[in-house]
Amino acid sequence: MSATTDNKRLTTRDIHALRRSGEKIAMLTAYDHVTAALVDQAGVEIILVGDSLGNVVLGYETTLPVTLDDMIRHAGAVYRGTTRAMVVCDLPFGTAKDPETALGSAIAVLQQTGCQAVKIEGGGAAAPIVARLVEQGIPVMAHIGLTPQAVHQLGGYYRHGKDAPAAQELIAAARELQKAGAFAIVLEFIVPEVAAEITQMLDIPTIGIGSGPDCAGQVLVINDLIGLNVGPVPGFAKPKADVAGIIRQAVGEYVAEVKAHPKEPSIG
């Protein structure tokens, strides 16, 4: 039996109960009301309104142009579409740059969207920011490894923790973020053995993306799962549907039907 069986909205306590029971945690992104409702009905435990919104929905090359107002608009729509999943909203680039800025951003998100928690990218340096929010009663999901908001500093999107010093840095960061009070931590594109070690070491759940099977939970961008993309899909995402193909076909049939209708007399 699942550690979370009733229909009430899940909280950090339920997520920790899953971690303790060993049951894996399923998390997906969503950016709009309808998709969020479907994802919620299908049984995902955490919905992340990720700042991947920038690439996936808004057509930006990176997540950097995404604003707090963008996140608040989409997170509100997601939250209103759901009744059971815990909903977490990313704090976008520049809105969590120091503890007080992050606190203001997180308060705005929680007050204006209904979301229950925020996610903050960054290693050990983000620990004081996490601590400030937690002190104010705001649950924080941390995020280490590939942190797309730092893409220009990192010099691209690649796997993290490949050598011993890099692995040790990730392990230390995970420990500091747990100590600061993060309720969970995303491990993005980390060497699977390092992700497994971090998972074993921590009490809080790790949620992996492209970091191997041994994390306490997994997250994917919804579009990568359902095949709703017009560009390349990360290698670790194995699409389970071809929604892009279904849309192209349905729209193609619609266009053909419209065109097949007998011609109207021309005007003018």
Phi and psi angles of residue 207, each rounded to the nearest 5 degrees, phi first? -120, 115
**Distance between CA atoms of 176 and 6, rounded to whole angstroms?**
33
For ligand KIV, give the closer residue by CB, 50 or 76: 50
For ligand KIV, give the closer residue by CB, 15 or 221: 221
Q: Which two tokens stand for residue 241?
A: 């549907």
Give the binding site for ligand KIV (CB under 6 A): 29, 48, 50-52, 90, 143, 186, 188, 209, 219, 221
Instruction: Mark whether 188 is an active-site residue.
Output: yes
**Candidate list 188, 253, 257, 264, residue with the active-site label:** 188
**Distance between CA atoms of 164 and 154, rounded to whole angstroms?**
18
Residues 6+ apart with CB under 8 A from 188: 143, 144, 145, 146, 147, 148, 160, 208, 209, 210, 211
For ligand KIV, give the closer residue by CB, 234 or 245: 234
For ligand KIV, give the closer residue by CB, 140 or 221: 221
Task: Give the shortest CB-41-to-ligand KIV separation in angstroms.
Answer: 20
Rg of the chain over Cα atoms, rounded to whole angstroms, equals 20
Task: Give the shortest CB-181-to-ligand KIV separation in angstroms.
Answer: 19
Residue 81 has what DSSP assignment? T
**Distance between CA atoms of 190 and 20, rounded to whole angstroms?**
23
Amino acid symbol at 117? A
Question: Which residue has the closest beta carbon to ligand KIV?
Answer: 50
Task: Give the shortest CB-66-to-ligand KIV separation in angstroms.
Answer: 9
For ligand KIV, give the closer residue by CB, 158 or 265: 158
For ligand KIV, give the closer residue by CB, 14 or 188: 188
Task: Give the shortest CB-111-to-ligand KIV separation in angstroms.
Answer: 21
Q: Is 94 left (phi over 0), alpha (psi -120 to 50) or beta?
A: left
Task: Give the shortest CB-151-to-ligand KIV separation in angstroms.
Answer: 12
**Distance between CA atoms of 183 and 11, rounded to whole angstroms?**
10
Q: Which two tokens stand for residue 47?
A: 């919905």
Give, in order, the Cα–Cα distances in Å from 261 to each of 78, 253, 255, 264: 39, 13, 10, 9
Task: Give the shortest CB-90-to-ligand KIV separation in angstroms.
Answer: 5
Annotated catalytic residues are: 188
